[in-house]
Amino acid sequence: MKESPSVDQWLAEAKADESAPRCGMYLAHNGTVRELPKKLVREGVDDGTKVTGMNFSYDADAVDAAVEEALTWPGIEYVRVWLNEGTLAVGDDIMYVLIGGDIRPNVIDALQKLVGRIKNEMVREVEIAS
């Protein structure tokens, strides 16, 4: 497990970046390990199990490529991603994503698209259930 970054520090660094004058919005995502199993929140299947942790890994090269691609999306000027790894407990941070861009619709769409791609294509999450 890694030490989680400071979003305040990330925002300070983003606002000091050369891209800052072109950014009218920054949006951050912080994913955490939850107690409710994925099959319950995504499919409505409640078999009574609770998540006590998660084994988490990711493809770093694919994430780096996705960040570079995101910087080509309409209006997007700044992207930063951090992913944890190893055995995580409920409440632990899984990921942070910060995106800066010109206008709200572009930044919201980019955050949703990038987080979705990372979660669906680049990470491996194995829930530990009780």
pLDDT at 104 exceeding the cut of 90: yes
Each domain of the chain, given as residue ranges in start order, spans 7-129
| CATH assignment, 7-129 | 3.90.1170.40
Where residue 58 falls (left for φ over 0; alpha for ψ -120 to 50; beta otherwise) is beta
What are 63-85's pLDDT values in tens digits? Answer: 999 999 999 999 999 999 999 99
Residues 6+ apart with CB under 8 A from 113: 70, 73
Average predicted confidence (pLDDT) for the chain: 96
pLDDT at 86 exceeding the cut of 90: yes
What percentage of the chain exceeds 90 in pLDDT? 89
Q: What is d(CA 115, CA 118) in angstroms, rounded to the nearest whole number?
A: 5
